Chain A
């Protein structure tokens, strides 16, 4: 039986994993709310972010944070292009058409990465850092940074959505796109902003995940079910809900790894989905209307 310290330790690890998950899941959730389909390719943008950064940091841009920023820009560009060239043309189609299209985009991204960089594990060449000790609990400075970045981003998102005119416009588009359009909002323009921002966040998530673990072409794809779980648990379209749900899911999967088997993390997350759908299909902060 694990001790209390081990338990707290896995809560800490779970929070760090959950913070990364939140960054990836929030875009999935907002796009589901706005464009009415689960953009499966969204999680593969995280993979692209990690590989783009790895490519840049071992070449033109040997400073890690600069390479990471450039990697995020690459991901944002791909997100923009995929919306512009593919999804926007299918506007008005049923969501089943859009999901299948997005699985096609996901395959192209994932296997393009495999084609160029192969399927072997890679990792960033980052210095090892001594863990910070809080009593008997050890926290890696990287985990602290990851959680710090995620919290800062979510606070930023909250402030933008709540207090700026851009946020008001975005919320209007999310609530009722046609009403927003007749009220004079440039919905196309706003949708573009959302796709770029959501993609960039997935890129950040992917890079942070790569810092914490290793880089493989399946880095993002493996986050599909967890991100989907965070989305429906938090309530589709709810930014704060996604964050809270992602942290809970991060902790649950660490517990599953400790008490059950590390490979059954996914099974535990599947269990969370089952429980959410049985008890509260609209999620923590969702409205019933979105689930159907």
Chain B
């Protein structure tokens, strides 16, 4: 049971990192990154491939973060001077193209059958301790990311991001380089998603393209929106609710609602879609906060 809770906890914390990444981009800056999973995938594969080639894990994780951040930069350059919708659709497309590349460039990525045998973090520790140590590391990583974000967001940089989110024209009129601030937010957030990906690869030790479908992106979106965009603690709470929901629906069969696997998956996403629509209609600032129009 403890092992199960730690396993769920590790996945939940990886999702928390993804949610924090999206919260920086969407919650604080108003960027619609529908391609979040691409940066998660880049982080996972870069760290996986490098460590399989003998790089120290710590170093390959750092390179993974940098690679995910670097991949976001041209995307930002291309779309962020245009209407928000452009980033939204182009990012979805980007994440699908990334997945196509992972599937087809088998010499590098192992192709559709994936990349087995990615080295673990704390490989020397006894198995029971290993996951516990990873769990603690992730807790520390989340605390560090939250602390950095809070620090950053209190600084003039964060105030500018929020002004860009709330009224772009006004921010531009005050002489802020709106596109540059948006790009930096996208790049920084993608770096965090890359970190999540690196942890994911070293935890599962096996990564394949089918783990990086747009479904991941929209799971994180619902967590951020339910938790209350722009509030780090709310977003963490939203992520735990999401994981509870995903894990909880797994037990539907035990209470006598017989659905096959594909129907169960479909039902989850129908509910996620419904939740998105209802949130936008009735509680656009999240479930746990006093409502003000975003």
**Chain A residues close to B by CB (< 8 Å):** 32, 37-38, 40, 86, 89-90, 93-97, 99-101, 103-112, 114-115, 118-119, 224-225, 228, 232, 261, 263-264, 266-267, 269-270, 273-274, 277-278, 281, 291-292
Q: Which residue of B lies closest to A113 (CB)?
A: B266
A149 to B155, CA, bound (A): 59
CB proximity of B69 to chain A, nearest CB, Å? 20
Residue pair B104, A263 in contact (C-beta under 8 Å): yes
**Residues in B whose Cβ lies below 8 Å from that of A86:** 277, 281
Residue pair B100, A101 in contact (C-beta under 8 Å): no
CB proximity of A45 to chain B, nearest CB, Å? 14
Whether B92 is near chain A, meaning CB under 8 Å from some CB there, is yes
**Residues in A whose Cβ lies below 8 Å from that of B101:** 267
Whether B149 is near chain A, meaning CB under 8 Å from some CB there, is no
**B89 contact from A94, A224, A291, Cβ within 8 A:** A224
Residue pair B262, A114 in contact (C-beta under 8 Å): yes
Residue pair A108, B267 in contact (C-beta under 8 Å): no
| Among all A-B residue pairs, the 8 with the closest Cβ atoms | A107-B273, A104-B276, A225-B93, A108-B273, A104-B277, A111-B269, A114-B266, A115-B266
**Residues in B whose Cβ lies below 8 Å from that of A264:** 100, 104
Identify whether the interface residues of A are mostly helix, strand, loop, or mixed: helix
Residue pair B262, A225 in contact (C-beta under 8 Å): no
Whether B263 is near chain A, meaning CB under 8 Å from some CB there, is yes
**Residues in A whose Cβ lies below 8 Å from that of B96:** 225, 266
Whether B237 is near chain A, meaning CB under 8 Å from some CB there, is no
**18 A/B residue pairs, CB under 8 Å, sorted by A:** A38-B89, A40-B89, A86-B277, A89-B281, A96-B32, A100-B32, A101-B276, A103-B218, A104-B280, A111-B270, A114-B262, A114-B266, A115-B266, A225-B90, A261-B104, A270-B90, A291-B83, A292-B83
Whether B34 is near chain A, meaning CB under 8 Å from some CB there, is yes
Q: Which residue of A lies closest to B90 (CB)?
A: A273
Residue pair A266, B93 in contact (C-beta under 8 Å): yes
**B225 contact from A100, A114, A261, Cβ within 8 A:** A100
Contact with A along B17-58 (1 / 0, CB 8 A): 000000000000010101000000000000000000000000
Residue pair A100, B78 in contact (C-beta under 8 Å): no
Residue pair A112, B93 in contact (C-beta under 8 Å): no
**Residues in B whose Cβ lies below 8 Å from that of A274:** 78
Contact with A along B64-91 (1 / 0, CB 8 A): 0000000000000011011111101110
Whether B108 is near chain A, meaning CB under 8 Å from some CB there, is no
Residue pair A90, B262 in contact (C-beta under 8 Å): no
**Residues in A whose Cβ lies below 8 Å from that of B266:** 111-112, 114-115, 119
Residue pair B79, A277 in contact (C-beta under 8 Å): yes
| Known interface pairs A96-B32, A270-B97; A277-B262 also in contact (CB < 8 Å) | no
Residue pair B275, A104 in contact (C-beta under 8 Å): yes
Q: Which residue of A lies closest to B225 (CB)?
A: A100
A266 to B89, CA, bound (A): 13
**A266 contact from B88, B97, B274, B276, Cβ within 8 A:** B97
**Residues in B whose Cβ lies below 8 Å from that of A111:** 265-270, 273
Residue pair A281, B262 in contact (C-beta under 8 Å): no
A86 to B276, CA, bound (A): 12
Whether B94 is near chain A, meaning CB under 8 Å from some CB there, is yes
**Residues in A whose Cβ lies below 8 Å from that of B94:** 270
Residue pair B270, A108 in contact (C-beta under 8 Å): yes
Residue pair B274, A112 in contact (C-beta under 8 Å): no
Q: Which residue of A lies closest to B105 (CB)?
A: A261
Within 8 A of A (CB), among B248-268: 262-263, 265-268
CB proximity of B250 to chain A, nearest CB, Å? 17
**Residues in B whose Cβ lies below 8 Å from that of A225:** 89-90, 92-93, 96
| Known interface pairs A266-B93, A267-B101; A106-B280 also in contact (CB < 8 Å) | no
